[in-house]
């Protein structure tokens, strides 16, 4: 008998998700069935709910998750039944123009099938009873009791890490830490500014600390988040409602500006500050995003003097290398994840969880499954 399970289904933007029974398809040869144990609520999911990020509907959201492998396809590799896994939302073909150039985030299959919210073979892995195919966000759709993914998306991690901490690695933590460690080119003693101290920004603060930054300037509108940033390694906190972040950056660097700016606020004003705060020849990394059809303007002079700007989506991650590394960093105490979790909720509370995220009340709410 086909597997049936509960999932949160979005039928239209700006409407609540409904908890419904969905049907899983039979596994394809390289598919993996994962029983989800914890799934984080991310701003990207909220963008789909709000309608600023557009996907086919109905859809199961969720792309930051951890669980246990219950079944593997006949040709699945690198994962076994019983493994504890963190899920990756960036499957890639491994042989297209971009994969050959070691940029899997730009994989042609990934970019082509992603907006369709289907697997690489063009098919859905779940259906609604008598109502046709059900789409999966970012090749996952983890706001359900089960999830069918490709084998390369299910990354085994040490069983000692709790599922609610492990799930954070799959998106927010990997994006922030990876931006600092894999892309920031942070030299020992550098001054780094992180704008926006949500889950991604707090992870970037920790990545800067792990990279050996001498000063880490955290910028946010919420004093509580700045306090949390200090606990995770920030040496300075800037309340953006009261202080000029660019001026503070120059004050702390003899007038030069900071060496690296990592933006994770997702606001036009924050993007502009990055260009004003970084020194000549410094590096700007943009992690946040706004509606894809909105414009952002800059003072032209702020873009001069050999400044480098890079837009990054997933911290240049190599999941099979990086996910276990971050899990071990949590277990040895060098990566702090406990304080990123604001609330643990049931699947039935998911709409309230996203309302709290929209109001800025939470860093991460995590849906816990039995």
Write out pLDDT tens, residues 175-210.
999 999 998 789 999 999 999 999 999 999 999 999
pLDDT tens per residue across span 41-66: 999 999 999 998 899 999 999 999 99
CA distances from 298 to 219, 275, 295, 361 (A): 19, 8, 10, 30
- Please state whether the predicted TM-score (pTM) of the whole model is above 0.85: yes
| pLDDT at residue 291 greater than cutoff 90 | no
Q: What pLDDT sits at residue 181?
A: 94
pLDDT of residue 1: 59
State the average pLDDT over residues 142-160: 97
Distance CA 174, CA 156 (A): 15
Tell me the torsion sign for CA atoms 334, 335, 341, 342.
positive
Tokens of 302: 């702020």
Give 292: exposed, middle or buried? Use CB within 10 Å, 0-12, 13-18, 19+: exposed
Phi/psi at 347 (5° precision)? -55, -35
Closest CA to 32 of 24, 22, 23: 24
Domains and CATH numbers, the chain: 4-156+337-368 (3.90.180.10), 176-311 (3.40.50.720)
Confidence grade of residue 214 (pLDDT, cut at 50, 70, 90): very high
């Amino acid at each position: 008998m086909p597997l049936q399970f509960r999932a949160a289904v979005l039928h239209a933007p700006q409407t609540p998700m409904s908890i419904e029974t969905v049907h899983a398809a039979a596994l394809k040869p390289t598919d993996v069935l994962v029983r989800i144990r914890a799934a984080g609520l991310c701003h990207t999911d909220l963008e789909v709910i709000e309608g600023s990020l557009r996907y086919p509907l109905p859809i199961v959201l969720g792309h930051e998750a951890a669980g246990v492998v219950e079944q593997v396809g006949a040709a699945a590799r690198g994962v076994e039944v019983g493994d504890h896994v963190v899920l990756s939302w960036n499957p890639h073909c491994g042989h297209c123009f971009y994969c050959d150039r070691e940029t899997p985030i730009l994989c042609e299959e990934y970019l082509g099938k992603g907006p369709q919210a289907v697997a690489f073979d063009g098919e859905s892995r779940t259906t609604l009873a008598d109502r046709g195919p059900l789409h999966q966000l970012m090749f996952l759709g983890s706001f359900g009791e089960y999830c069918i993914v490709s084998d390369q998306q299910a990354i085994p991690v040490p069983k000692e890490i709790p599922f609610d901490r492990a799930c954070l690695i799959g998106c927010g933590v990997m994006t922030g830490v990876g931006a600092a460690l894999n892309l920031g080119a942070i030299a020992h003693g550098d001054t780094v500014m992180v704008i926006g101290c949500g889950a991604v920004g707090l992870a970037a603060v920790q990545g800067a600390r792990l990279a050996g930054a001498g000063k880490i300037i955290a910028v946010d509108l919420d004093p509580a988040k700045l306090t949390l940033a200090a606990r995770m390694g920030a040496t300075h906190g800037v309340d953006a409602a009261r202080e000029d972040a660019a001026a503070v950056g120059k004050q702390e660097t003899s007038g030069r500006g900071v060496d690296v700016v990592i933006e994770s606020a997702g606001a036009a004003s924050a993007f502009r500050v990055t260009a004003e705060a970084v020194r000549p020849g410094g590096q700007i990394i943009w992690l946040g995003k706004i509606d894809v059809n909105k414009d952002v303007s800059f003072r032209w002079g702020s873009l001069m003097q050999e400044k480098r700007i890079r837009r990054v989506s997933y911290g240049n991650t190599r999941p099979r290398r990086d996910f276990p590394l971050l899990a071990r960093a949590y277990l040895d105490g060098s990566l702090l994840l406990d304080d990123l979790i604001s609330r643990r909720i049931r699947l039935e509370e998911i709409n309230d969880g996203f309302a709290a995220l929209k109001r800025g009340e939470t860093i991460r709410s995590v849906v816990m499954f039995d």
